[in-house]
C-alpha cells in the first residue's frame, strides 16, 4: 500500500483520520483572530473565533474591566469543547482561536484528542499592550492584559511562535510546523 509522504511515520489508523483542529492560543492581543483567519483562508477550512462563544455575562464583565474567573470561563470552554468535539465527529478540519490560558483549560477543550493541535502565539507584555491600545471595537480592554498574563500557564511541547513576525510569516511557520 502506498501513502503520501505527508503521512510517512503514521500508522494506518492515523492515515485514515485526516481531520485536524488547529487551536491558535495566547493572551488577548496576540493575534489569534488575525492569524487564525489567514490560516483558515489558506487551508480553505472554517474559522471559529472563541470570542463568539462567550456568554453575554462574560462580555459585559470584560467590557467593564472585570477579569474573568475560572468559573466565568467554564461555560465558554464547554461551548468550545462541544464545537471541537462535533467537528471531529463530523471529520471536519477547522481553525479555532481561543486564549486557552491554563493547562486545565486546554485539557478541557480537547480531552486528549490527537486531532487537535495547539499553536501558541507568544509575545511580550509591552508589544501586546501596544496592540490592544490600538485595537478598535473589541470588548476586551487593555486594562485586563495583566490578568491574562497572570492566568497564563505557558504550554510545553507545542508549536510556539513569537508574534514579532508578520501574520503571513506566522501562518507560514504554522503550516510548516504542522505539515499543512
| Segment 124-160, tens digit of pLDDT | 888 888 887 776 665 555 667 788 888 889 999 999 9
Q: Say if 35 falls within a structural domain.
A: no
Q: How many domains does the chain have?
A: 1
| Segment 88-136, tens digit of pLDDT | 999 999 999 999 999 999 999 988 888 999 999 999 888 888 887 776 6
The pLDDT score that the predictor gives to residue 8 is 42
CATH code for the domain of 97: 3.40.50.300
Q: Say if 78 falls within a structural domain.
A: yes
The pLDDT score that the predictor gives to residue 32 is 93
pTM across the whole model: 0.82
Q: Angle between the 32-43 and 167-178 helix axes, to the nearest 10 degrees?
A: 60
Q: Say if 66 falls within a structural domain.
A: yes
Q: Say if 54 falls within a structural domain.
A: yes
Q: Say if 26 falls within a structural domain.
A: no
Q: In which residue are the cell numbers 462541544 written?
A: 82
Find the domain containing 166 and state its range: 41-175
Residues 119, 170 contacting (CB under 8 angstroms): no
Amino acid at each position: 500500500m502506498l501513502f503520501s509522504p505527508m503521512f510517512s511515520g503514521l500508522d494506518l489508523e492515523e492515515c485514515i483520520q485526516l481531520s485536524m483542529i488547529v487551536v491558535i492560543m495566547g493572551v488577548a492581543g496576540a493575534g489569534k483572530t488575525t492569524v487564525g483567519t489567514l490560516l483558515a483562508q489558506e487551508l480553505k477550512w472554517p474559522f471559529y473565533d472563541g470570542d463568539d462563544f462567550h456568554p453575554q455575562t462574560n462580555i459585559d464583565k470584560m467590557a467593564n474591566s472585570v477579569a474573568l474567573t475560572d468559573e466565568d470561563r467554564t461555560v465558554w470552554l464547554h461551548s468550545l469543547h462541544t464545537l471541537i468535539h462535533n467537528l471531529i465527529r463530523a471529520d471536519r478540519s477547522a481553525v479555532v482561536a481561543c486564549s486557552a490560558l491554563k493547562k486545565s483549560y486546554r485539557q478541557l477543550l480537547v480531552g486528549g484528542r490527537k486531532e487537535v493541535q495547539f499553536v501558541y502565539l507568544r509575545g511580550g507584555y509591552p508589544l501586546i499592550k501596544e496592540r490592544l491600545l490600538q485595537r478598535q471595537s473589541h470588548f476586551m480592554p487593555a486594562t485586563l492584559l495583566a490578568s491574562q498574563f497572570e492566568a497564563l500557564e505557558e504550554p510545553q511541547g507545542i508549536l510556539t511562535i513569537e508574534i514579532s513576525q508578520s501574520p503571513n510569516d506566522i501562518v507560514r511557520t504554522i503550516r510548516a510546523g504542522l505539515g499543512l
